[in-house]
Structure 1
C-alpha cells in the first residue's frame, strides 16, 4: 500500500493544503436525507462512521480497506464528495503530489445524526471541520497511526480498532493511548489485544516513560492485562526508548513491545518484546506476541460501556468494524 503523506515523505508540507470546489448549489438549511439515503450503499454509511471515528483517511487507506481498485475507489469518493457526504483536501508537497485526504462532510454528519436520533451538534461536526484537520499540527501523527492500523486491517487481521478519542473516553482516568485494537480472529488463541503509542520523536523519552504507571494502574484496577505496543520513527529512537523503559516496564510487570517505521511491515516480524527475564528473543509477529506473553486479557469486552455525561452531546458509541459490511468492488 502506498505510504501516506506523513513524515515518511520529506517533501510534505503539513501546514498547507488545497481543496477542490463543488458545483454551486441552492442554499438549503438541511440535506434531503430521504433522497440521499436512496443513493448510498452500506459501504458508504460505514465510511461516514469510519471518518467520524478516525477523523481523516487518505484515498489509499480507503481503497485498502473497502475497494479492490484505486480507480473504482476514487470514482465513488468523488461522487460522495459532490453529494457532501465526505469532504476532502490535498496537502501540498514540495515535490510530487499527495493523495486526497477525506474527512466527514456535512451531509455525512447529518446522516449519522439522523440514524442515531440526535441533532447535528451531537456529531461534533463543524463547518470548518475539514480545514481544522488539514491545518492541524497533529495531522502527521494522526495519519501515521491510521496508516499503521490500516495495513493490519487491510489483511483482515484487525477485527477491532478504536481511535484515540474513543480510547480516551473509555480509559481516560488512567491512560490516553493513541489507539486500541485487537489483532487476530476473535475466537482464536492468537488474539492479541493491545494499546498503541505512536511516537514520532517530537517529545522526549521521559514523557513516554511517565505513561507507564497509568497502564499499570488500569491493569490493577480493572483486573486486565493488555499489552502496550510502542511504534517509533527510527531504529535509533527505538533503541534509546528500550534502554529507558526496561527497568520501569519490568517493575510494573507490563507486557510491552516496540517497533519502528524503518521496518517494512507491521504485520510481519517487526515487534521486539521488552523482556528483562527469560530467554532472549528476536522480533516477532503480532500473532507470535499473543503466545509470547501469558495471561493477556483485553481491556475492551462485550460488557464494556462508554461513560456518559447524562446529556446527548455525542453520538451513541459503538465499535466500528475496520472493514465495510458490503463486498469490495
Structure 2
C-alpha cells in the first residue's frame, strides 16, 4: 500500500498509515489460493471481525484472541506481510499510539471468495484504510469497539460471562435503519441472565436535544416490533456529561417506558461490566450489567436477528471470540 498523503489541517492531519511504509511487502500480493495454506480459522475470524467492525487495535485483538500481546504482534505482522491486513498508527502529541488494523486487499479477496461474490460487491476499495484513518469518526468508532471488546474478552477469564452477540453500527443499520441507528447491538450473558441492549456511544458532540430525540425512535421500535424490548445503554465521555444527559432524559425515558442506563469513561475504562451503570430512575444507584438484567425482567432480544434468504456469509453475525481451539498463541 503506498504512503497516504496527510492533510496540513483538519481531521486527516492527525493520522498516517505509517505501517504501510515501514513494513516491507512483496511487490505482488499473495493470491487467494496460496493463502489457503497459511490462514487459520482464527485468521479468517479476524478478517471477518475487521470487515464488520472496521478497525481494531493490537491490544484489542490480543485481548480477544491471543494469550499475550507478543504472540498477537507476531501473527499480525505476518498477516500484514501477506496483505491480509492493513494498518496505520495515529499521530499523538506525546508517546506512541498502538497499531490500528484494518482489512487488507488479500483479506478482502479471501472474504469475497468465501461469500461467492466479487470484490466490488464486498464494498472494499484500495482507499479503505485511508478512509478509516482520516475519518473524523475514528475516535468514536474506537471507543465503541473498546467498550465491547472488553465485554467480549471478559469471557476468556470468566467463562459464562461476556458477549454472545455483537453487531456493528453497519449491521444495525441493515436490520433496523428505517427506525433506529444505534452504534451497536449486543447480548451480555452472565450464566442464565441475559441483557440484550442497544448502545449509544456519546462523545459530547451532539446537543442534548438531539440525544433526547433518539429516545422517541427507540420507543417506536419497541412498540411497533412485536416481542422486542432490549435495554438502551448510553456511554458518555465524562461524568459531567453523564449527569447532564440524566437530567435531560429521565422524564422522557419514563414517559416512553424505556429501560435506559448511563455511564461514562470516568468509570468504565477497564471493567465495563462492573457497577458503573445507573438506570434513569429517581434515586437509582450505579450497578452492574448483570444486575440491570434482573432489575428489568421484561427485557427481550431485538427482532430481526434470525437469518433470512437475503443473508450471506458476510451479513451473518460474527462470533465475538475466535474458534475456541485457536484462541491461544
**Offset, 1:33:** 1.2
* Pairwise CA distance, 1:294: 2.4
Counterpart in the other structure of 2:315? 317
Contact 2:25 2:81 in 1 (8 A): no
Deviations 1:98-126 (A, max 9, x none): 00000000000000000010000121111
Residue 328 (structure 1) aligns with: 328
Structure 2 unaligned segments of length 5 or more: list them.
1-10, 156-161
Quote how far apart the aligned CAs of 1:232 are.
0.6
What stretches of structure 1 move > 6 A for 4+ residues in a row?
none
Aligned-residue Cα RMSD (Å) equals: 1.9
1:214 paired to 2:214: no
Match of 1:175 in 2: 180
Separation of aligned partners in 1, 2:137 and 2:242: 21
Instruction: List per-residue Cα deviations over 1:59-100 (Å, max 9, x = no partner).
Output: 000000000100110000000001000000001111100000
Which of 128, 144, 169 is residue 164 of structure 1 equivalent to? 169
**1:15, CA displacement in angstroms?**
2.4
Within-5 A mapping of 1:111-122? 111-122=110-121
Question: Secondary structure, in 3 states, of the residue corresponding to 1:191?
Answer: strand
Aligned length: 306
Residue 292 of structure 1: aligned partner:
295
Alignment-derived partner of residue 257 in structure 1: 261
Shift of residue 317, structure 1, vs aligned partner: 1.0
What is the match of residue 236 of structure 2?
232
1:108 maps onto 2:111 in alignment: no
Distance 1:225 1:306, change over 3 A: farther
Provide the TM-score with structure 2 as the length reference: 0.88
Report the TM-score, using the length of structure 1 for normalisation.
0.88
Maintained 8 Å contact 2:237/2:265: yes
For residue 211 of structure 1, give the secondary structure of its aligned residue in structure 2.
Answer: helix
Give the match for residue 23 of structure 1. 24
CA contact (8 A) 2:172 2:185 kept: yes
Cα drift, residue 26 of structure 1 = 3.9
Unmatched 5+ stretches in structure 1 = 1-11, 309-313
1:303 aligns with 2:302: no
Change (3 A) 1:289 1:14: farther
